Chains A and B, each alone.
Chain A
Amino acid sequence: MPLPRYPSVNNGIAMKLQRTRLFLLLLALPLAAHAYEVYMEPDNFIATAFDGAPPRPSTLWIKGDLKSAVTNLLGHPYEKLRVRYWRKDEQTAWILNEIGKEKPITTGIIIRQGQLKTIKVLIFRESRGWEVQYDFFTDQFLGARVDDKRQLDRHIDGISGATLSVNALTKQARLALHLDHHVTQN
């Protein structure tokens, strides 16, 4: 009985095609990565943080000792000298920007009684590292505080391939906790 040569050849070609498709798909993955994504408008975040009735924004000038502390914390000066924040009862809300690799990540952070209550990526502009938006990552920050050295009281697990975004969010969390401490203690 003759061997079924042609079907096996066809199968081989089909497998090669399949592999080529898979290879091309893998090549195209980075292109499909998010480049500019607004997950939530900052105004909506602030409204939600205060149950639809946000207070008027306050401003905090980052200068003098605070500027030195912030520069030390971030490893560079904050992008602006004036930061707007919202404060009601024992809660403050912050919209902060920090560069991951090349472009700023805009994050909304709520601090209640010195503890991080919510952290949410609002606008992501980088081409990689967008996984930091997911709850499995941001939930690690819930309840976090900063110590005297402005370090978080816990270890934050990274995400492979998103190290710079993870670092940016960790710095933002530390910065928000530090600024909250500054405005509530003064």
Chain B
Amino acid sequence: MSHRTKPHSRWQSVFLWHRNIGLGAAFFVILLAVTGVMLNHTDQLDLQDRRVNNEWLLHWYGITPPKPTSYATSGQRITQLGSQRYINSNPISEKATSLLIGALELEDIYLLAYQNEVELYTPQAELIDRVRTPSVIDAIGRTPQGLILIRSEQGWWKFNDDMTEWMPAALDKNPVSWSMPSALPLELELQLRQNNRGDGLPLERVILDLHSGRLFGQFGVLLMDGAALMMLFLGVSGLWIWLDRLRKRRAHRRVHQH
């Protein structure tokens, strides 16, 4: 007596494929569902503003921590870390678009110099005003008399009394103390790095790349393509199984009615 197994019917074959592929696709379905829901609620979950601090991920994305540029003013510190700027440890809400080239403090007003403009801030890091420079400058400094000067290849300029305009200044014979970068105290540097919400790596980017598979490069994209095909098959095979069962149930009912 032979024990030949009965060959699978077409229905059984599709059902087996549906079950096996379903098991294989389960991980991707969960991953896509979770990341998809998160991406649908980016604003509520604040994904754009949250930064990833995981060293492995930062390294994977090729993001190296920015080097701080820091200037000491009368006992205070003005620091730029990437596009984020700080007055001591108070972050300035607006992102920098160019590199800080000097900083001074004058009667509780902080002057942050860039190549094309000087920004005035309160100690609480509130922007007072922006004053454009007459040409591209490379330094900001002050005389022993407290006169604020900026320097460019075309010459020197001094601030008017209410700090709204630059006026040509004669090259001063008195020594001008030009603002120079200096090393940031280690404790403050650690504090700023911890709080740094600069460019960094937004959580949204990671979730998006996880959703599309791009987190693992071209291989990840192909893997997600495969997952999509698996889900497509599950949809079609599930429908096919349901229709087949429905047809059989109807046939069965018809036989019993007769």
Say yes or no: A57 contacts B164, CB within 8 Å.
Answer: yes
Kindly list 8 other residue pairs between chains A and B, CB separation below 8 angstroms, not including A77-B126, A80-B129.
A57-B164, A59-B129, A59-B164, A79-B127, A80-B130, A81-B126, A84-B129, A84-B164
Interface string of A58-88 (1 = CB under 8 A from B): 0100000000000000000101111010000
Say yes or no: A80 contacts B128, CB within 8 Å.
Answer: yes
Say yes or no: A81 contacts B122, CB within 8 Å.
Answer: yes
Chain A residues numbered 70-121 whose CB sits less than 8 Å from any CB in chain B? 77, 79-82, 84
Q: Is the interface of A mostly helix, strand, loop or mixed?
A: loop
- For residue B140, give the distance in angstroms from its CB to the closest CB of chain A: 19
Q: What CA separation (Å) do A59 and B120 show in the bound complex?
A: 14
Say yes or no: B129 contacts A81, CB within 8 Å.
Answer: yes
Q: What CA separation (Å) do A84 and B129 show in the bound complex?
A: 9
- For residue A97, give the distance in angstroms from its CB to the closest CB of chain B: 10
Shortest beta-carbon contacts, A-B, top 8: A82-B129, A81-B128, A82-B128, A80-B127, A80-B129, A81-B126, A59-B164, A59-B162
Chain B residues at the A interface, C-beta cutoff of 8 Å:
94, 120, 122, 126-130, 162, 164
Q: What CA separation (Å) do A159 and B199 show in the bound complex?
A: 34
- For residue B122, give the distance in angstroms from its CB to the closest CB of chain A: 7
Say yes or no: B162 contacts A81, CB within 8 Å.
Answer: no
Please, which residues of chain A bring their CB within 8 A of the CB of B127?
Answer: 79-81
Interface string of A24-68 (1 = CB under 8 A from B): 000000000000000000000000000000000101000000000
Q: What CA separation (Å) do A81 and B94 show in the bound complex?
A: 14
- For residue B32, give the distance in angstroms from its CB to the closest CB of chain A: 26
- For residue B64, give the distance in angstroms from its CB to the closest CB of chain A: 27
Among residues of A, the one whose C-beta sits closest to the C-beta of B165 is A57
Q: What CA separation (Å) do A1 and B82 show in the bound complex?
A: 77
Among residues of B, the one whose C-beta sits closest to the C-beta of A82 is B129
Q: What CA separation (Å) do A77 and B124 show in the bound complex?
A: 14
Among residues of A, the one whose C-beta sits closest to the C-beta of B130 is A80
Please, which residues of chain B bring their CB within 8 A of the CB of A57?
Answer: 164
- For residue A29, give the distance in angstroms from its CB to the closest CB of chain B: 25
Q: What CA separation (Å) do A84 and B131 show in the bound complex?
A: 11
Q: 18 pairs across A/B with beta carbons < 8 Å?
A: A57-B164, A59-B129, A59-B162, A59-B164, A77-B126, A79-B94, A79-B127, A80-B127, A80-B128, A80-B129, A80-B130, A81-B127, A81-B128, A81-B129, A82-B120, A82-B128, A82-B129, A84-B129
